Structure 1
Amino acid sequence: MLKEGTMVYFLMNGYVMSGQIMNVEGNEKEYTFSIEGYSGCEGPHVIYSNQIHYTVFLSQQEAEKYKDNPQMYLAAYC
């Protein structure tokens, strides 16, 4: 389970972005969180733990591997 304040990386429109984890809720098997600086018109997006290594990455190097694959991007809309 990721802890509040952990730095994660994500892709938006081919760019590697980063932010800290916040608002962690759930348990070790299934949980949700938000990323500071990644929000929509109505506030922070809720991200599910099963998105780790698919749209949310634990290192910049891991994210860089997928920056040419739009299926790995987090949504960039409200």
Structure 2
Amino acid sequence: MYSKLERKWWFIAPVTALAAILTNYLVGAAGLIQPYNSAQWVLYVLAFVGIQRALSFALWLLVLCVAPASAVPERS
């Protein structure tokens, strides 16, 4: 389900790092400084996955605008 671009380490690393930073900021703003129980961990993971997928899509669109050949799959 991931594109060829989303499987590259140089794309995954900044997206994951930025998603972790934004998730910590979001969870901290919500008042959950550190997740202590399973419900808080579930909220943290769901926020991380949502933010990570949104960032991945946004950066994929950016790469598509800058260098279309690297983001579009090759047809045979």
Short-chain TM bin: under 0.3
Greater Rg over alpha carbons, structure:
2
User: Which one has a larger percent helix, Structure 1 or Structure 2?
Assistant: 2
User: Which one has a larger percent strand, Structure 1 or Structure 2?
Assistant: 1
